[in-house]
Every structure is written in C-alpha cells, then in structure tokens.
Structure 1
Amino acid sequence: MTGKAILAFSGGLDTSVVVKYLQEQHNLDVVTVTIDVGQGDDQKKIAAKAKKLGVKRHYNIDARKEFVEKYIFPSIKANALYQKKYCLATALARPLIAEKVLEIAKKEKVTALAHGCSGKGNDQVRFDITLRAGSNLPIIAPIRDMNLDRTTELKFANKHGIKIDNVAKRFSIDQNLWGRAIEGGVLEDPFNEPPADAFIWVKTKNLSTKPSYLEIKFEKGVPVAVDGKVMQPINLIEYINKKAGAAGVGIVDHIEDRVVGIKSREVYETPAASCLIEAHSDLEKMVHTKHETKFKAIVDDEWSWLAYSGLWQDPLKSNLDAFIEESQSRVTGTVKIKMLQGSMRVVGRKSKYSLYSHDIATYGSESTFDQKLAKGFVELWGMQSTEANKLQKKR
C-alpha cells in the first residue's frame, strides 16, 4: 500500500509505534492529529514527538468547548451512567476525536485511516464505527491487526529509537475533562484496593471533618452556575472537579462489561460527573411526573448503552436525543449537595416548575389534602392483587 494515512496521535507507546508500522509495514506517509479534550498533556511536546517520528504534518485541535457542549451536556441530560456507575468519560470523547480526524482526513486527502486501539478494548469499536459512518477509506489498526502486546511494542520502540516516557508507570491512564480512567498493574486483581497514589483528582487522605457544599443551578437541564457564580462550561466542570475532589468525592470502582465480551475491573475519578449527574437526576424528579421519571429512566439507560458501545451514530440515539431534549424544558432550578469525607448527597432542591406542593404534602393542620378520598382509591388500586391472592389461597 502506498499513499497517506491519518492517525489520532497521543504521543504514547501505542500511537508512536503505530506511526512506524504505518511507515514501514504499509509504506504510508503519516499525518497525525492530537485533539485536546482536557487530557492535560503538553501539546507542543506531542507535536515535537510527531515530527521526530517523521510524520508529514501534525495538527493540534482544541476541542474542549465542543466536548463539553455537544457531548458532556447531553450526557448530563441523559443522566448517563453505564451500568449505573461509569459516567462515560472516555466513551464520549472517542466519537468527537474520530469526527475531528475525519475533518483533517478530508482536508489532507488521505488514503487510509488509522488508530492505536487494541482488540481487547472498547475504543476500537468507538473509533471504527464513527470512522466508517463518515468515510469509506480503509481502517488500519496495527495493535489489533498484528495482535501486539506491550512487551512486543516496547521492543519495537527500542529498536526504532522511539523514546517512551514513563515506561515503568504503574497504571494506564486515560483522562479528559469529564473523568480519569485508571487501569492495569495491581488493579488487574479485582480484590486489590486501589493504592492512594493512583488518584490525582480525588483526595483520599487527611480529609476535612467539616462538610462542604455545592449549589448547582440548571437551565433546561444544563448546568450554568455553581455556588452563585455563572461560569463558562469548561470552567464550571473544572471548578466542581476541584471542589468535590478535595472532599474525597468521585471515585468509582466496579466490574464492567466491555463491548467485546470481556469483564474488566475499572477505576475512575469523576468528581464533577458524579455531582452533576446526581444533582440533575434529583432535579428531574422534582419537576417531572412519576410517569415521565419512570419512562425516562429506560431511555437514559438505553442512551448510556449506545454511547458506551460506540453507537453514537445510530439513528436510535438521535431518536432518544429528541425525547431527552424535550424532557428538559422544565428542568430548571438549583440543587444543593453536601460533601463530607468521600460521601456526597443531595440535601436541597428548588425549582419554579416544582410539582412538590407543601400544602398537599404537609402533615400539619394547614394541609389541603382530603384523606377521606384515599380510602376508595386504595380499594380500587389493590383490587386485582387482593382478589388474585384470595384465589390462590382457595386453590
């Protein structure tokens, strides 16, 4: 094969090795793209490494604002937690990265698309489906296609003079604005407690004995202000990450079912995501009817599954998006969260669209609820259940 390939490039072991495989095994010129979704990496350093590897051109794209507004905010509206735990941080970023790669691919008129995903993870699914949805070009994935392992990659890198930072690092990290995924090392034994030094965002020692609070204001399902301050999307998430993390909030440790069928032990740091999703879900329950709440939970679960599974492009997700967006018209209000030594819970909420009525709910003498009406309701509500129970006893 001759021509030009484009690669989403992080500068780590996998993508550095892939550059050389594309050049040597496939005889391809390589264009690399680094998309900033809040990894915290040194973009200049990554660009310099790409140049040293002999790529024809390298692009740095700051997509943080788009990531928050078009991916994170929709996930908040969907209360998106895969298997009730994972906030989808990596899963949300992958289709955005793939979309940006396709934009540069068109500009550069490449003949092939490439990525550094393995055949064991979910990212191959997320990249491949988004890339195939937007292009008919072949996809080359050397790590997967050649069944490469870390030891083989390190030998290849050493042979070709590819410098790899932190070769002896204890964990594999994937980080963006919405979360930090920690894998590998001692965590591969699911009975091992994650060591304290695995965490950067969430404080695990010497936590304050005094509670701290977050007051999050939403407008139509979107967080717009925290602690009385209107903030830009990126700043809002960073602020909550820092404050909740300092209170020890945001560690997720669970057994996860990957798309490819593997069960994996996953550890995440998600302070802002944990707080924002909990607050949003609580506010919805205040302004939605019980029928809306019940049905939306089904929609949210399916939305989370589609996003996790790389099916961001599926028409069903667009259909669910439309329902979710419509459901947010009354999700406006403020939620108060109390945080103390790693715990977090909602302790207050208010909204101009609240369906909670003090006059009806109160047990005081000022209640407007006529209790006598309940007798007939209870009789009718349980009629079939009680009759069925009587019938079973006769049999």
Structure 2
Amino acid sequence: MWTKKCVREFDHIEGIARNGGRVVTLFSGGLDSFYLLWRLSHHPGLQVHALSVGLGGDAEYDDGAGGVARLGARHVLADQAAVFADEFVAPAIAAQALYLGVHPVSSSLSRPLLARAAVELAEEVGAQVVLHTANRSQNSLRRLNTSIAALGFDGHFGSPYELDAISRDDKQAALKEAGFPDFANRAHSGDSNLWCREFESGLLDDPEWFPVPEDLYTWTAGAPAERPEKVVIDFAGGRPVALDGEPAGLRELVGALNVRAGRHGLGRYSGLEHLDSGEKVLEVREMPAACLLLHAYRQLESATVPAETMREKMSLEQTWTREALEGRWFGSLRAAAQAFVMSVAERVTGRIVYRLDRTGMTVLSVEARDALYIRDRDGWERDTARSASHFATD
C-alpha cells in the first residue's frame, strides 16, 4: 500500500503538487526523464530542480537547446566522475564485482551516488520531494529507493513509473506533440558512465533474439586493431595508479583503457539480471577498462595474497556484490565486507604487463612487491631440500 512518503504513480505527484513546494528529479535527458519533466511542468506551483549527475560517460545530457528551461525547471549539473571512480569503482575492482561471475557490475555502483547527490541537492534547496524514473523492469528502482531511504531523506521519494507503465510510444507521441520531436527514434534505453556503457529495452527486450546494432558501441567500434599493443598497469595497495609507467588518477586511467582495450575488442558483455520478483531481464554492456583491470587485479592478487586468504575473500566478494546489487550500498554488511576486501588489498602492489591483440589479452609479466611466487624453481628446490635435510639430521 502507498504511504505518504512513497511516490509510485503520477497520481501521487498530483496529490503532492496541490501544496506546491520544491522537487528534485534525477534527469539524464533520456525519454523517461524528459517525459517526467514534461509532466511536472503541468504543475506551476512546483519549483523543479532537474539534476544531471556527470559520471564520466559519453552520453551525458547537455541542455544547450534549453529544453529544461522550456519546461520551467532549473537544470543543475553535478560532476561526480572523480568521486565515482574513487569511492565506487576502486572498491569494485578490489572486490572483483561480477554479477554471478558473468559481467562486471555498473549501475549498482552509480545508483547510490545518484541517490546521494539528489538527497544533498534536496537538502540544499529545501525540497521535500526526490523523484527518479526507474520502472518495474529496472533494478535501479530498488537501488535508488533503498539508497534514498538509507540516507535518511524524510520527504516523498520514488518513481511514478513504478505503477504507471506508460509505453515508449505514448511517451514519444506526447513529447512530439509538446514540441520535443527528438525522442521519436529512440529504440532502446541507455546508461553511460566512465566504467560502462549499458543498453536495454526496446530492440533489446527479447533474450531469445537480440542482434545488437554495431553503432551502439563506441569504445569497441571497429575492433579489433590491426597491430598488437603492450599495456603496463601498476597497482599500489590494490588501486591502479599508473599506465605505461605514467602516474594517473583512476578516472583518467579508466578512460584511457576504455579506448586502448576497446580497440582490441575487449569488454563486450551480455547477461540476464534478476528483478525483485525473480524474473530476469536482458542487459548489454561495453566495459573494456573493467575487463582488463579486473583481470589484472586478480593476477597481481594471486601473486601477493596467500591462497587461504583469497578463498575467504572470494566468498566475501559475492557478499559485497550482492549488497551493492540489491541497493544496500549504505548498509553495514557491504561496509563490513569492504573492510575485509580492502585489508587484503593492502598487499596488492606491483605491475602487470599485457599484450593486446586479435586473440584478446595475454599476460606477459607479473612483478609484485612482497611476492609469494618462486622465480627459480631449481634453486628453491635445492635450498629447501638442504633445509629439510638439515632439519632431519638434527
């Protein structure tokens, strides 16, 4: 049952709007967020703040045409790409955050940051309503709602699309009639950040047949490259810190690897993710840097961390990933799992050298500080044999 704090359909907005006030809505510039903004413009008593959070993606909304202002809203831009890399992507690398071993997670990392940015803006402007546009077939619904609640927001929040299943055709037709024809050819939904480009819905609805149009891809478009390439990645305390010997922040390093690994065709994924009710939906991803960095981390971890510690960590990796997937980023269990993961990460320092070519990625070198590997087996056998013999004689 709907309570006064939940927004689950457009009628709930109607009730809230009678009292006027300020509203913060997450705004990507896509079909759903633009349609919601258009619906909100029907309530002149509402002061609407449309929040676009920059996460380093290539499809982030630029309101150069003034569409937001035409709908009577204030457009707020928040560049959170560096925060996203440092606070969310970095621990995901250390936690080897893969959904059931199939594909790296992405929106599970960005949604809590979007929720936090929206709540912070609501507190700043005195808004008592925070809206987003996730629907029942999107896992973002529970991730955003759970995060907003966990952050202690005391106003109304949610998505009117949870119970109002308005078709893409109806949204497109309404916006076209309102003077926004650019949405007529949107054949899918997309999400983009520095870690992932993700596509779903529309032409990608049916898992039994989904030939992905090549023009959806950016980083891997035209791959594979003709010539092989050597890539050197340095880690310090579990964190990528340099590329080809040049120090780099994580945001910049991920951006560079998306291009370099992408031109060799690395990082295309497709997979099914479960909804609250158990059904599963198809999602297609492009994640070259994630593909390479997760592999590199595991290689260096295996060189520096005892096997039994790794076994325990691997079980907690899925705990960490599950809590992020279910929207419980701000919960105590994710924090506890991350504390263990990052304590292990302190040992993961060194360098991995790759060859990237038409066959994919090949490890050429693993060079670790405080390494556990043996570099000279014959010498090791002689030394340990002498020690064992001496011990037996004594």
Taking structure 1 as the reference length, what is the TM-score of the superposition? 0.86
Match of 1:160 in 2: 178
The Cα shift of 1:46 comes to 6.1
User: Residue by residue, what CA displacement relative to the aligned partner does 1:279-310 show, whole Å, maximum 9, x if unpaired?
Assistant: 00111111111111101001111111111221
Question: Matched residues in 1 for 2:66 and 2:44: separation?
Answer: 23
Give, in angstroms, the shift of residue 332 of structure 1.
0.3
Aligned residue runs from structure 1 range 1-80, under 5 A:
1=16, 2=19, 3-24=21-42, 28-41=46-59, 43-45=61-63, 48-55=66-73, 57-80=74-97
Q: For 1:154, what is the secondary structure of its paired residue? A: helix
Paired position in structure 2 for 1:319: 336
Structure 2 CA distance for aligned equivalents of residues 342 and 310 of structure 1: 37
> In the alignment, which residue of structure 1 is the partner of 2:296?
279
2:310 to 283, 286, 293: 293
Asked if the contact 2:176–2:184 (Cα under 8 Å) also holds between the matched residues in 1, the reply is no
- Out of 65-74 and 86-95, give the one that drifted further: 86-95
Q: Is the 8 A contact 2:173 2:184 kept in 1?
A: no
**Residue-by-residue CA offset, 1:17-47 (whole Å, 9 max, x unaligned):** 1123334379533111111001234654268
Amino acid of the structure 2 residue aligned with 1:322:
A
Q: CA, structure 1 residues 144+365, in 2 after alignment: closer, same or farther (shift >3 Å)? A: closer
Range with greater deviation from structure 2 (25-34 or 85-94):
25-34
Greater Cα offset, 295-304 or 45-54: 45-54
Residues 249 and 342, structure 1, Cα contact 8 Å, conserved in 2: no
1:141 aligns with 2:156: no
Secondary structure of 1:120 counterpart: coil
Q: Which residue of 1 aligns with 2:217?
A: 199
CA distance in 1, matches of 2:198, 2:115: 19
CA shift digits 1:318-373 (9 cap, x unpaired): 111111111111110001222222622433211121111234xx257964344998
**Partner of residue 12, structure 2:** none
Q: Does 1:244 align with 2:261?
A: yes
For residues 125 and 27 of structure 1, do their structure 2 counterparts lie closer, same or farther at Cα, with a shift above 3 Å needed?
Answer: farther
Structure 2 residue 383 is the aligned partner of structure 1 residue 368: yes
Q: Which moved more, 1:64-73 or 1:208-217?
A: 208-217
2: CA distance between counterparts of 1:188 and 1:42?
23
Of residues 344, 352, 358 in structure 1, which corresponds to 2:361? 344
Shift in alpha-carbon separation, 1:310–1:345, aligned structure 2, 3 A: farther
Distance in 2, Cα, partners of 1:180 & 1:170: 16
Q: What residue in structure 2 maps to residue 151 of structure 1?
A: 169
Query: Which residue number in structure 2 is paired with residue 302 of structure 1?
Result: 319
Partner of 1:212: 229
The corresponding residue for 1:234 is: 251
Does the 8 Å contact 2:41/2:71 carry over to 1?
no
Instruction: Report the CA distance between 1:90 and its aligned residue.
Output: 1.8
Q: Distance in 1 between matches of 2:49 and 2:347?
A: 46
Q: CA RMSD in A?
A: 2.3
Per the alignment, residue 389 of structure 1 pairs with none
Instruction: Classify the secondary structure of the residue corresponding to 2:134.
Output: coil
TM-score, with length taken from structure 2: 0.87
Q: Which residue of 2 aligns with 1:118?
A: 135
CA contact (8 A) 1:172 1:183 kept: yes
Work out the CA distance in 2 between the residues paired with 1:365 and 1:357: 7
Secondary structure in 2 matching 1:24:
coil
CA distance 1:28–1:83, change in 2 (3 Å): same
How many percent identity over aligned positions?
27
- Which whole-Å CA distance do the structure 1 matches of 2:346 and 2:355 have between them? 26
User: Structure 1 counterpart of 2:156, which letter?
Assistant: P
Secondary structure of the 2:100 match is coil
* Counterpart AA for 2:221: K
- Structure 1 gap segments, 5+ residues each: 374-395
Native 8 Å contact 1:18 1:143 kept in 2 = no
SS of the equivalent of 2:352 reads: strand
Q: Which deviates further from its counterpart, 142-151 or 214-223?
A: 142-151
Whether 2:88 is the aligned partner of 1:87: answer no
